[in-house]
Amino acid sequence: MPRGKRESHWLVIRRCLAIIRRVQRGPASRDELIKAVLTQEGADAYGNAQGDTLYRRLENDLQRIRNILQVDVYFSRQEGGYIIRDTWLPLLELPDEDLATIAWLEETFDIESPQHDAVYGLLGRLRLYLPPERRGEIERQRTALTIDLRTRDQDVIRPDVWDGLTRALNERRRVEFDYLSPWYEDCLPRRHVVEPYKRYFSDGHYYLRGWCLAISGPEGERRPGSYIHYRLGRISNLHVLPQKLPSSPPPAPSYPVVYQLAPQLARSGVTRHPEITILEIEQRDDGSALVRGETDSLFWAVRTLLRYGPNCRVLGGAEMLAEMRHTVTAMARQYETNEDGDDVCALGVW
C-alpha cells in the first residue's frame, strides 16, 4: 500500500508538470490542459472522471501548481487561455556561458534589428523561467558588452533612473515616471505608466522602449496602448511598481511603407535600414527602385528616409505618407523665400 500511495503522489506531480509544459507552449483552454495530461499519462490519468468532476480535478492540480510548485498559472481573458504570469520557483537554470549568450543576443538583436520582436519574445520567456539572481547576471553581462555607454550619452541620466530601470527589467515590473517631452510648449513633465521591455543605445542616447499604459498631465489622463521610445535623460522620479509584466510583450503595430529611390542611389543597390523591414524591391528601367516594406515606428521610418533628401519619395502606405507629408510640409515652411511660398515645391512636398 505505501508503494501505491507514492505512485499516486508521483502521478499528481506528473500531471502538474504536463500542465506546466502545455502553458509554456502558449495559452491553453481547460480542455487543452486536460488533453495534455491525458496524452502524457493515459486515459485514466484522472481516474476516468468526466464533466464537472474532471474540471474540479484539473482545478485542484492548478491550485497545487500555484501553492506548492509556486508557478502562477492563471486564466487570461486577453490571451484567451491559461498562461504563466510569474514563477516563484524557477523552472529553468542555465550555465554562465548560456547567460552570456542571451546577453549577446539581446544586444545584437536590438530594437533596430529585423525579427526583433520574435527574438526578444523568446529571450523574454527564457528570462521568465530563470531565478531573479540569474536574470541579474544577464544584465551584468549586457553592461559589460555595452562598455557602460552611459558615459557616451549626451544627456545626464539620473542614477536612480538607471538603477530603477535595471531592477524593473530584472524583475519584469511596471514603472511609473515623469517624462519631459519637447513636444509640450508648457515645458511641464507628464506622468507615464509603462511596461519596460528594452533599454538600448542609439544616435548618442540611451532609450527605453516601453508599452505605455497611461499618461497623465494638464490635459487629463489618456491611455495610448502603444510603444514609446523614451530618452533616459528626460526621465525623472521613477518608481518600480508591484505589477508584473505579461508573459509576452504586446505585439508592435505594423505600418506599410512604399518609397521610390532615385537612379543615382538605386543603381548601386538598396540600403536596408533597421527601422524599415524591406519585403520587396522592384528595379525600374530608368535605374530607380520601388521599395515595399513595413515599420513599427512611423517616427523613425520618416526620419530614416529624410536622410535621402530629394532622392527619395514616399508613395505609401497611408499612415506613412501622411506622416511624411506633415513633416516635409512643416520643414518647407521654415525655408519659404517669399510670402507665396513659391520655393516649397523645391523641397519635394508630394
Q: CA 68, CA 88: separation in Å to the nearest integer? A: 10
**Residue 210 structural domain:** 96-244
Sign of CA dihedral 51, 56, 62, 68: negative
| 250 located within any domain | no
Q: Are 69 and 102 found together in one domain? A: no
Q: At what angle do helices 51-67 and 30-41 cross, to 10 degrees?
A: 90
Position with higher pLDDT, 108 vs 90: 90
Residues 6+ apart with CB under 8 A from 287: 263, 264, 266, 267
Stretch 251-255: mean pLDDT, rounded? 84
pLDDT of 142 strictly over 80 = no
pLDDT of 209 strictly over 50 = yes
| pLDDT band per the 50, 70, 90 thresholds, residue 315 | very high
**Residue 45 gets which letter from DSSP?**
T
pLDDT of 204 strictly over 70 = yes
Sign of CA dihedral 304, 116, 295, 152: negative
pLDDT of 50 strictly over 80 = yes
pLDDT at 122: 85
| pLDDT band per the 50, 70, 90 thresholds, residue 347 | very low
Q: Are 146 and 73 found together in one domain? A: no
| 200 located within any domain | yes
Q: Are 220 and 100 found together in one domain? A: yes
| 249 located within any domain | no
Cell 499528481 found at: 12
Q: Are 240 and 123 found together in one domain? A: yes
Stretch 77-103: mean pLDDT, rounded? 86
**Which 3 state secondary structure label does DSSP give 18?**
helix
C-alpha cell of 114?
529585423
Stretch 100-110: mean pLDDT, rounded? 77
Stretch 296-311: mean pLDDT, rounded? 88
pLDDT at 90: 86
Q: CA 314, CA 146: separation in Å to the nearest integer? A: 35
Cell 547576471 found at: 137
> For the purposes of burial, counting CB atoms within 10 Å of the CB of 167, is it exposed (0-12), middle (13-18) or buried (19 or more)?
middle
Q: Are 145 and 203 found together in one domain? A: yes
Residues 6+ apart with CB under 8 A from 91: 20, 24, 71, 129
Count of the separate structural domains present in the chain: 3
Distances 133 to 113, 155, 197, 240, 331 between C-alpha atoms, Å: 28, 30, 18, 18, 50
Sign of CA dihedral 113, 24, 137, 166: positive
pLDDT of 175 strictly over 90 = yes
pLDDT at 9: 86
| pLDDT band per the 50, 70, 90 thresholds, residue 314 | very high
Q: Are 57 and 104 found together in one domain? A: no
Position with higher pLDDT, 77 vs 340: 77
